Each structure stands twice: as structure tokens, then as C-alpha cells.
A = this chain, B = another copy of it.
Amino acid sequence: METLRIGMLGFGTVGRGVADLLLNKQELLAQRTGMKLRLVRIATRTPERDRGLRLGNTEVTGDLHRVVDADDLDVVVELIGGIIPARDLVGRAMETRKHVVTANKALIAEFGAELFAMANAHGVQLSFEAAVAGAVPVIKALRESMAGNRIDLIYGILNGTCNYILTEMRLKKLPFHQVLADAQAKGFAEADPSFDVDGIDAAHKLAILSAIAFRTHLDFSRISLEGIRHIADVDIQWAEQMDYRIKLLALARLQEGLLEFAVRPVMVPRQSMVAAVEGVHNAVFVRGDFAGTTMYHGRGAGERPTASAVVADLVDLARDLRSGGKGRLPPLGVPVHHLRTLPIQNAAQRHGTFYLRLAVADRPGVLAEVSAILARHGISLDAVHQEGRSHVEAVPLIMVTHETTEERIALAMGEIETLESVRETPRTIRIESGLA
């Protein structure tokens, strides 16, 4: 039986999962591929640490170059994460004619174009199913199963940490910083949480999905980014009361040739399927002209789910090699010269309804001032909730608008913020009523 000789960079959580799977499922993988998937070598900065695995003949080295420069490997699995040194290592592995499987969303989202060109030049494959939504095979679904569809909308919950925090804030009625601290203690959030809570991680994944869905160049930098740090517990409670739920939503929508491209907290109907995605789960919804809306849901991260996706890529590669197929599938589903760049909607073109929360002085006339500014910008209101009189300095004023544009909202809010009676920066959350 032919052998697929695998080298691995990184032996952390996911690396441990991949090694566990490869070492303990030889027979299953051989049945499924007709090849022996052999984990030849692992490079890690801590080769001496015991991971509780029986490594058998698998070599563990502290020298990353013993993997990327090796001539006794067919494929390198990159699980270091981040850009430096992953970018150079992946490049080096491809230069020396090794296929690459990676779980590194930042690397693909930011340097995918360069790396895909290298893969093409050197006749190797670069696979990245594990970069988005863990075990959930959404790259494959988009690139293969939806191949006959014109996709006009893709959205999802792509960051388990944010979804966990928002779920906990709702269930336990706790503020953001307290839930974040708790998530950090439990290992669900990093010590520096900004990649997650500021939406960058979700945007990396959205950049990848959107490029495949719309046949565009990777363009992470054009995604509108808004994280969840400013979501207050009062927003979450108001959302519940109005039969919505707040989710950090990654969304790419093509309308009349213009792309809406954003990661931001939005309110979704409480009865929708996207609202039902709870805790650390991920879900992706894809709307195609023939398929309608299909949805993919599961564990978005973690040792074993991510390992499942990495091994799925290795199995695909083994099947390609064994069947003699060459260059079966370009990384983004179509050859590079077919990739487009779509114009992005501007704020005047982005229509929607909005939840607005102001902290206002508790005295007569404030609502009149605020309403006058909204009216001047052509914004009409669907609902207004004003809290009863209190003795605190500022009381919340909650408003829900009718359909308007982001530009009008931004201009109106800018004016409203300058009112003497408005005590904090107004909060705006878009309402997405039409999602499945």
C-alpha cells in the first residue's frame, strides 16, 4: 500500500488532536483512502513535553526546518497559527514540493493570494477546511456542493468565543467584562481577547467563505468590523423583550452588484435558526439560487473538531494522489484569473432597521429634541421605549427605526451625541429581520 508521509508543524491542542487521530485510526484511514497515512515527524518548540500519546515511530523534533525542508514528506500540516513564522514555513514547504494542509485562518485570509500562487507554481495543493468553523465542512460545501449555484448571501456565527460570551450574558444577566473574565478562566477566551471579541477572527473566516461564494479575490481589509465589547447587558435584555437575540454575525450579501461585507453584532429574530446557535457552536447559512438556504452547524473549534477537518483535508489529498488526479480543485473553487473584485456598498446604500439606545437626562423635552433630529434625517420610528422616572443621572431611551440607511443613522447619531441632554455615546445595533 502506498504511503502518504505527513509532517506536522506545531504540537499544541489541535496538533495533539491530529496526532491522536492519525496514530490511532490507521485502519479506518487506510480503508477510506487506499493509502497509509503515516505521521512521520512533528516539529514543536517543546519537543520534550509529554502529550499523553503513544507516538511509536513518529519523530518529535524542536527544529521546524526538519519538517519544512524535509525530502521524506509528502505533505506538511501547519498548526502554528498566526502569520510569523507560519507564512515563511508554509512557503518553504511548498517550494520544496510538499502539499500543505493548514488550520490557519489569518494566514489564508491575509496572505492566501500569495500562497495560492506559490502552490500553483510548485504544483502542490494548499487545503484549509479547518480554518473555518472547525469540524463543519463549509469550505467543501461552498466549493463543491454549491458549485452550480449563484450565491447571493452567506452569513453565520463564526466565532465561538463571542457566541459563548453573548449566550452567557443573556442567560446569566451579567455584563460583558465579567463573562469575558469567566471565559478566560475556563479557557474559552485568550488572555488577549481582541482577535475574538473585536471580530477579527470572524472576519478572517468571512473573507475566506466570501471569496469562494462570490468568486472574488480574498479581501479581508474591506470587511466592516465591529466587535462585541460595547454590547451592554441592557441591550441584550431589550433584544429579548422585543423578541430578538443579539449575535455577532459575519455576513456577505450581494445585491445589485454591490457587496455588503461586515462582521458586527446584530439583532436576529428569536425564532430564527441563527438565534438558536448557542454557546461555542458555529453555524453557516448559504443562500443559492437553486439550493435555497442550506445551513451547516457544529463545533467551531477545539482539539478534536479541528483535527477532524485537518484529517478530512489529508484524506482528500490522499484520494487525489492515489487516483492520479492533478490540480483537481483550485483553492477558491475557480482559477485565479476568474476571481473578481466586487464593489462594496457604502453607508448610503446599506439599508436596514436599527435599534438605538441613548442615555438621556431625565427631564421633559429630551424626546422632542431627539425626535426632531431623527425626523430631519428622514428617519421614522417603529417603536420608542422610555424608562419611568428615576433618581439616577441618566435614563435609557430605546428606539427602533423603520427602514433607513446606515448613513442617515450615522449622521443623526452624530448630531444627537452633541445634545447637552445626551450623556453617553449612543449605541446602534442593526436589526436583521429577514434571516433564516
Q: Chain A: residues with CB nearer than 8 A to chain B?
A: 17, 21, 25, 28-29, 31-34, 129, 134-137, 140-141, 144-150, 215, 273, 276, 288-299, 304-305, 307-309, 311-312, 314-316, 319-320, 322-329, 333-335, 338
Contact = CB atoms under 8 A, between A and B. Distances in A.
B335 A150 contact: no
A316 B144 contact: yes
Given A294-B136, A298-B292, A309 B147 contact: no
Nearest to A129: B145
Nearest to A299: B292
A338 B31 contact: yes
Contacts of A294: 135-137, 296-299
A300 to B, nearest CB: 10
Given A32-B147, A147-B311, 6 more contacts: A140-B144, A149-B308, A273-B276, A295-B295, A295-B298, A323-B327
Contacts of A309: 145, 291
A297 B273 contact: yes
A140 B137 CA distance: 9
Nearest to A133: B294
Contacts of A276: 273, 276
A200 B293 CA distance: 26
Contacts of A314: 148
A314 B290 CA distance: 15
B145 A137 contact: yes
A34 B326 CA distance: 13
B292 A295 contact: no
Q: Which of A148, A289, A299 has the most CB of B within 10 A?
A: A148
A399 to B, nearest CB: 31
Contacts of A334: 31-32
A314 to B, nearest CB: 8
A304 B289 contact: yes
A29 to B, nearest CB: 7
Nearest to A145: B137
Contacts of A147: 29, 32-33, 311-312, 315
Contacts of A150: 25, 28
A315 B328 CA distance: 11
Contacts of A312: 144-148
Q: Which of A32, A289, A324 has the most CB of B within 10 A?
A: A32
B292 A304 contact: yes
Nearest to A333: B32
B148 A29 contact: yes
A308 B291 contact: yes
Nearest to A297: B295
Contact of A304 (B135, B141, B291): B291
